[in-house]
């Protein structure tokens, strides 16, 4: 089973709203990731959590706030977003350690976010 789930599938919010994106995996993976993807562009890494600790923040604006409540869950809290933040937000997970097969990242279906 390589399933990563994300909710909601679609989200429309105003610039003054506060909302959260949720991601869940039950593969026992110890690394989880947030990516942002604009149309016809590749995914861009935002945050990496390793063993429930934030290990990489790719200089993401503070209006995006990640949280990892436990090893299966990853949240992305959104506040005071701008219209240019509209994108597909992808969550991914991986085993968290290298093996003969590499530390493959498995992606969830994404949340399509529109900021008005």
Partner 1 sequence: GQNIDQPTEMTATEGAIVQINCTYQTSGFNGLFWYQQHAGEAPTFLSYNVLDGLEEKGRFSSFLSRSKGYSYLLLKELQMKDSASYLCAVMAPMTTDSWGKLQFGAGTQVVVTP
Q: How far apart are CA 94 and CA 19, in angstroms?
A: 26
Closest to partner 1 by CB, 1 vs 16, is 1
Residue selected from 41, 54, 69, 116 as contacting partner 1 according to rule CB under 8 A? 41
Closest approach of Cβ 16 to partner 1, in Å?
Answer: 28
Residue selected from 26, 103, 114, 116 as contacting partner 1 according to rule CB under 8 A? 103
Closest approach of Cβ 101 to partner 1, in Å?
Answer: 6
* 3 state SS for 35-96: EEECCCCCCEEEEEEECCEEEEECCCCCCEEEEEEECCEEEEEEECCCHHHCEEEEEEEECC
Closest approach of Cβ 11 to partner 1, in Å?
Answer: 15
């Amino acid at each position: 089973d390589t399933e990563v789930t994300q909710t909601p599938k679609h989200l429309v919010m105003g610039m003054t709203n506060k909302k959260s994106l949720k991601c869940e995996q039950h593969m026992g993976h110890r690394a989880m990731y947030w990516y942002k993807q604009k149309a016809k562009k590749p995914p861009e890494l935002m945050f990496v959590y390793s063993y429930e600790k934030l290990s990489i923040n790719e200089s993401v604006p503070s209006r995006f706030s990640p949280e990892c409540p436990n090893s299966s869950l990853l949240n992305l809290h959104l506040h005071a977003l701008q219209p240019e933040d509209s994108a597909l937000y992808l969550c991914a997970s991986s085993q968290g350690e290298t093996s003969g097969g590499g530390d493959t990242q498995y992606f969830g279906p994404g949340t399509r976010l529109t900021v008005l």
